[in-house]
Chains A and B, each alone.
Chain A
């Protein structure tokens, strides 16, 4: 679903925020 895609994108960006 679209909301799942949004959640995954948010989770991925959160993972990367520590790094960037």
Chain B
């Protein structure tokens, strides 16, 4: 059987996470792990960077770490 990815790295998926709560880059990467999306590390970084540039989320520091978030 072909391996199917159970998670898709899409703008809509990222948007939904960032509306729910502020997240660091690492938090986001954890949601879209390569073993779940089937993407390479490089693809994941590139696609996520493009999506974040498009979404242009708000940023704030929480515990001295930069978090992204979106409001509806």
Cross-chain contact of A13 among B25, B44, B46 (Cβ < 8 A): B25
Indicate the size class of the contact surface on chain A. 10 to 19
Give the contacts of B14-45 with A (CB-CB under 8 A): 24-26, 29-30, 41, 44-45
Interface size on B, residues (CB 8 A): 14
CB–CB A20/B45 < 8 A: no
Nearest CB of A to B53, in Å: 5
Q: Which A residues lie within 8 Å of B44 (CB)? A: 8
CB–CB B41/A4 < 8 A: yes
Chain A interface (Cβ within 8 Å of chain B)? 4-9, 11-13, 15-16, 19-20
19 more CB-based (< 8 A) A-B contacts, given A9-B25, A16-B49: A4-B41, A5-B26, A5-B30, A6-B26, A8-B29, A8-B44, A8-B45, A9-B26, A9-B29, A11-B45, A12-B25, A12-B45, A12-B48, A12-B52, A13-B25, A16-B25, A16-B52, A16-B53, A20-B59
